[in-house]
Amino acid sequence: EDKVVQSPLSLVVHEGDTVTLNCSYEVTNFRSLLWYKQEKKAPTFLFMLTSSGIEKKSGRLSSILDKKELFSILNITATQTGDSAIYLCAVSTQGAQKLVFGQGTRLTINP
């Protein structure tokens, strides 16, 4: 059975700190890994990663994939209160038209 595990499940930091969120996976025929940010409503897309070692970056957020060790990290530098959200990791596999999600990491940024 395909499995995606995120850690930590919850994280509280102060504004300005740097955080690293983890996502590991055990799936058959990996295709891609996706990160989403969920504030009050619908998750919104952040990154899609398909190749090992290539960093995707958007402002203060960055992510990288390690297909040998089967994990990805999402880094957020100089955190702001607006970064407070649930961060979801999901994996797609070859031939399957659906995503498998991890449990999510609830990130709280205190001023």
Partner 1 sequence: DAGITQSPRHKVTETGTPVTLRCHQTENHRYMYWYRQDPGHGLRLIHYSYGVKDTDKGEVSDGYSVSRSKTEDFLLTLESATSSQTSVYFCAISEFVGTSNYGYTFGSGTRLTVV
DSSP per-residue codes, 58-83: ETTEEEEEETTTTEEEEEE-S--GGG
Please work out the total of residues on this chain that contact partner 1, with binding judged by CB under 8 A.
Answer: 25
Beta strand 105-110 with 10-14: parallel, antiparallel or unpaired?
parallel
CB 13 within 8 A of CB 110: yes
Pick the piece of the chain touching partner 1 (CB under 8 A) from 12-20, 66-74, 75-83, 89-97: 89-97
Phi, psi for 8 (deg, rounded to 5): -70, 170
- Binding string to partner 1 for residues 19 to 48, with x set by CB under 8 A, is what? ------------xx-x------xxxxx--x
Output the smallest distance, CB 97 to partner 1, in A: 6
Q: Cα–Cα distance between 37 and 87 in angstroms, integer?
A: 5
Task: Please report whether residue 58 would count as binding partner 1 according to CB under 8 A.
Answer: no
Task: Please report whether residue 101 would count as binding partner 1 according to CB under 8 A.
Answer: yes
Task: Please report whether residue 82 would count as binding partner 1 according to CB under 8 A.
Answer: no
Query: Cα 106 to chain center, whole Å?
Result: 11
| Binding region for partner 1 (CB under 8 A) | 4, 6, 9, 31-32, 34, 41-45, 48, 88, 90, 92, 94-95, 97-104
